[in-house]
Amino acid sequence: MSKTDEAYQFIKKEIIGGNLNNKAPLSVNILASKLGMSKTPVRDALQKLQSEGFIRIIPNQGIVIQELTILEATHMYELRIAIEEYLLKQIIPMLKEENITYLRNLLDKQKQAMENNDPYEFMKHDSEQHLYLHKIYFNPIIHDVVNQLVDRIFYGGVQALRLPGRMEATLNEHTILVDAIEERDLDKAIRALEYHFTKGLSSTTISLERFLQN
């Protein structure tokens, strides 16, 4: 891995995990010091993150994290509901036992992350569960659209999972959804998905409002 890639992965993870935000000074010098490398690969990494919408580089001022907004979160959830409802309609008739086993394993991993009080690790498996639907029924255009939003969705999800009780509630919602998928009950699965996304958006909104108030 190049120094630029190393810097990119580190900074991106810190932003998504909520460890870097606009409440503390942020500069190339600070990041280079944290990473123990020169400023050049850090600058290159920041340029890439700016092109992805995670930061803005303001000349003579510094780096500004592009915090997720409530409107952006709302639009993302609206898109996810539309896409994943469509995917459920496609995958339920073609499900195999190995697909259910895989989803159950992801639920176990989420439970372990919840018990460890690790929202970042929980969100990794949460995200994998939703993206797994795209693997069962692969539409390259849908995949590309969702892939552009994955990191922003992850960012908002980690913040929401920090709310008291949200990891446990999310695990319960995911379990109901997987139960419905295993039963091949499309109507129940769609209701479970809509409920899950409604609660997810509500939690994300609350977490964003709290962040702005602090």
**What is the predicted pLDDT for the residue at 200?**
95
Residue 188 shares a structural domain with residue 134? yes
pLDDT range class, residue 114, cuts 50, 70, 90: very high
Q: What is the mean pLDDT of residues 80-109?
A: 96
pLDDT range class, residue 104, cuts 50, 70, 90: very high
Q: For position 23, which CATH number holds?
A: 1.10.10.10
d(CA 111, CA 158): 15
Residue 108 shares a structural domain with residue 131? yes
Tell me which residue range forms the domain holding 21.
3-65
What is the sign, positive or negative, of the torsion defined by CA atoms of 195, 52, 126, 185? positive
**What is the predicted pLDDT for the residue at 58?**
84
Residue 105 shares a structural domain with residue 42? no
**What is the predicted pLDDT for the residue at 101?**
97
**Is the predicted pLDDT of residue 186 greater than 90, yes or no?**
yes
Residue 29 shares a structural domain with residue 89? no
Residue 55 β-bridge partners: 65
Residue 95 shares a structural domain with residue 188? yes
**What is the predicted pLDDT for the residue at 214?**
63
Tokens (6 digits) for 87: 């995917």
Instruction: Give the helix ranges, DSSP H, for the chain.
Output: 3-16, 28-35, 39-51, 70-91, 97-115, 119-136, 140-147, 150-161, 166-182, 186-213
**What is the predicted pLDDT for the residue at 97?**
95
Task: Report the predicted TM-score, pTM, of the whole model to 2 decimal places.
Answer: 0.86
Q: Count how many domains the chain has.
A: 2
Residue 49 shares a structural domain with residue 11? yes
Q: Which of 65, 92, 119 is the last residue of a domain?
A: 65
Q: Which of 65, 95, 117 is the last residue of a domain?
A: 65
Residue 49 shares a structural domain with residue 135? no
Residue 182 shares a structural domain with residue 114? yes
pLDDT range class, residue 18, cuts 50, 70, 90: confident
Q: Which of 42, 65, 88 is the last residue of a domain?
A: 65
d(CA 65, CA 83): 28
**Is the predicted pLDDT of residue 14 greater than 90, yes or no?**
no
Highest mean pLDDT among 54-68, 120-134, 148-162 belongs to: 120-134
Q: What is the mean pLDDT of residues 161-180?
A: 97
**Is the predicted pLDDT of residue 25 greater than 70, yes or no?**
no
pLDDT for 37-88, tens place per residue?
A: 898 999 999 999 988 888 888 887 788 888 888 999 999 999 999 999 999 9
**What is the predicted pLDDT for the residue at 194?**
97
**Is the predicted pLDDT of residue 201 greater than 80, yes or no?**
yes
**What is the predicted pLDDT for the residue at 212?**
64
**What is the predicted pLDDT for the residue at 57?**
87
- For the chain, give the mean pLDDT: 91
Tokens (6 digits) for 84: 């994943």
